[in-house]
Amino acid sequence: MEKSGSVDSLGSKQSSSRQPSVDSLSSSSTSRSDRSSQAKPPSAISSDSVSVSDSPLSPEQLRSNIRNKPVPKVFRDSHKDEPQLLTKETVQDMAKDVTYICPFIGALRGTLTVTNYRLFFKCMDRDAGTVLDIPLGVLSRVEKIGAATSRGEVSYGIICKDIRNLRFVHKQPEDTLKKSIFENLMKYAFPVSNGLPLFACEYDQVFPENGWKVYDALAEYKRQGLPNESWRISKVNDHYELCDTYPSTLVVPVTIPDEELKRVSAFRAKGRIPVLSWIHPESQATITRCSQPMVGVNGKRSKEDEKLLQAIMDANAQSHKLFIFDVRPSVNAAANKMKGGGYESEDAYQNAELVFLDIHNLHVMRESLRKLKEVVYPNIDEAHWLSNLESTHWLEHIKSILAGALRIADKVESGKTSVVVHCSDGWDRTAQLTSLAMLMLDAHYRTIRGFQVLLEKEWLSFGHRFQLRIGHGDKNHTDADRSPVFLQFIDCVWQMTRQFPAAFEFNEYFLITILDHLYSCLFGTFMCNSEQQRLKEELPKKTVSLWSLINSQLEEFSNPLYVNYSSHVLFPVVSMRHLELWVGYYIRWNPRMRPQEPLHQRYKELLAKRAELQKRVEELQREVANRAASSSERAGSPTRSITPVQTFV
């Protein structure tokens, strides 16, 4: 019900930071190269980001909340002309008389500041409230458009990963030796390409909680009841020797010794062998994940691999069958044989049933998001909104992912059958499906901390290549490895929260904040491609975790309607009739998109009311008891009440 509109509420006071943001590059340039555009507002970090998000609280409220908390520096006071800097943030360049061409409001003149973390534009003439405050990590591409005009003005287009584009015009410095602010911007926006550190490695804000401690693989497996008589924890990958993109802690069937695992790893792409992700607490049916088998054109087989899958099946006494979900379309899976990959043949794997889930690859998804951005940004074609949306296929892809996850969850829950999930490498679509299925099956992952564990486990520790898919600090915006895989996953989660508004402990703002910091490069959480790399880079020491921020102010991120049903499996209806475009995320830069009335806020009011009444009732009860006692003592002196308690409600 609660639709949140992000964008800073138009309505709020003038002073509140408007984020009129966005403006578009000329559309031609956009379509040309904006392949990796992803949605994301970096801002979540800054005060405007707060206002931008769909938080159920009003920006003012949030801001004032924040001020009272020891988290402060992250949130900036946008009322000032200059950005309030984070720790270790320094101004690199500043230019006056820059024109920001806002697609919604028009040209705005103001001051542009570039720090090692953000781009900050403050409008100085009309619409003086307008502020753009964008972490540089959000920028995907910065480029000069056309030649300088006769007045010596040059325009720059910026394509952002969070579904918006910006366009600035400014005068070229007369001193040709001096770098223009945009040249500086490019330097700091793409530090990796320029041999600079990412800002996350400098940022050293201290939060009350250390988010790097959120996930402990052993503790999580223990929660699932592992190890048990069928499953053991293997140290074979302790030093990432078996597989450098896997976590060090793996759960495998007890019947398979480490030696055999090593042989299996030769047969699975990138050495990503089948290991356990989740086990059903009652039926012991499991979700295991891996990469494709290296079958090749000749139909190679591996005895150890077959044995491992048999062992996975045997570990579940409830079923004599094993389902292998190959996430890819069958054509793609077959095509992979040419490259040495492929899929399990039914001959080799007795008792296993192979199912293709028909989800397209990351290039298709990237293209779909690119089209989506064209449809939603900057303006919507009102007459053809739905058919345009349909032509992007974005929701169709969301549907196919959710449908795949639903099949997995249903097989495990209703069929009590163990499943193996893989795509080609087992780090993109596989992560989407296992984590969504686990979200459907296990209520723990629907809590705020549980969700963090889910991300840490299925995405980060199992080597979803965030660095590559997002391209942190890398100017190579056409990189074919970029893709909105994680965004799609979060979108799917949001779809589920829409269908089950009381089943998730977190709210929409939580999801948006995660996406904002996916790009912001403020936190170390989404840096690097694997657990091994993160360890090597000493990220937990050198950077702050996003969960530090979030867990220090859980209130902001929690859904008041949450009801914790511990053993409640969610089967969403995967139908276009229920899927919606996440307007609170994709369309939040449009100033017409204003926050709608927050249901959550009303709920909080009611909660406060109840607390207050409860207190009164209790106090009255006590009072009555006291009175009764005392009046019986001094019996015979009854005072008629003059002012009866006012209790009419």
Active site residues: 423
Q: How far is the CB of 290 from another protein (least distance, A)?
A: 21
Other Cβ atoms closer than 10 A to 235: 11
Nearer to another protein, 322 or 453 (CB): 322
Other Cβ atoms closer than 10 A to 538: 11
Q: How far is the CB of 378 from another protein (least distance, A)?
A: 12
- Report d(CA 436, CA 397) in Å as an integer: 14
Q: How far is the CB of 372 from another protein (least distance, A)?
A: 12
Q: How far is the CB of 192 from another protein (least distance, A)?
A: 35
- Report d(CA 29, CA 42) in Å as an integer: 23
Other Cβ atoms closer than 10 A to 184: 15
The answer to whether 351 is a known ligand-binding residue is no
In a 10 Å sphere around its CB, with 0-12 CB exposed, 13-18 middle and 19+ buried, how is residue 361 labelled? middle
The answer to whether 521 is a known ligand-binding residue is no
Structural tokens at position 398: 């969301």
Amino acid 76 reads: R
Structural tokens at position 53: 């998000």
- Give, in degrees to the nearest 5, the angle at Cα 647 between 644 and 648: 120
Q: How far is the CB of 104 from another protein (least distance, A)?
A: 7
- Report d(CA 205, CA 88) in Å as an integer: 9
Q: Are 168 and 158 in contact (CB under 8 A)?
A: yes
Nearer to another protein, 252 or 420 (CB): 420
- Report d(CA 417, CA 317) in Å as an integer: 9
Q: How far is the CB of 397 from another protein (least distance, A)?
A: 13
Backbone angles phi, psi at 213, to 5 degrees: -90, 0
Nearer to another protein, 176 or 646 (CB): 646
> What is the longest distance spanned by two Cα atoms in the chain?
104
The answer to whether 336 is a known ligand-binding residue is yes
- Give, in degrees to the nearest 5, the angle at Cα 117 between 113 and 118: 40
The answer to whether 428 is a known ligand-binding residue is yes
Nearer to another protein, 38 or 400 (CB): 400
Nearer to another protein, 374 or 537 (CB): 374
Cα–Cα distances in Å, from 72 out to 77, 212, 422? 10, 20, 43
The answer to whether 427 is a known ligand-binding residue is yes
In a 10 Å sphere around its CB, with 0-12 CB exposed, 13-18 middle and 19+ buried, how is residue 144 labelled? middle
The answer to whether 338 is a known ligand-binding residue is yes
The answer to whether 425 is a known ligand-binding residue is yes
Cite the annotated binding site for substrate by residue number: 336-339, 423-429
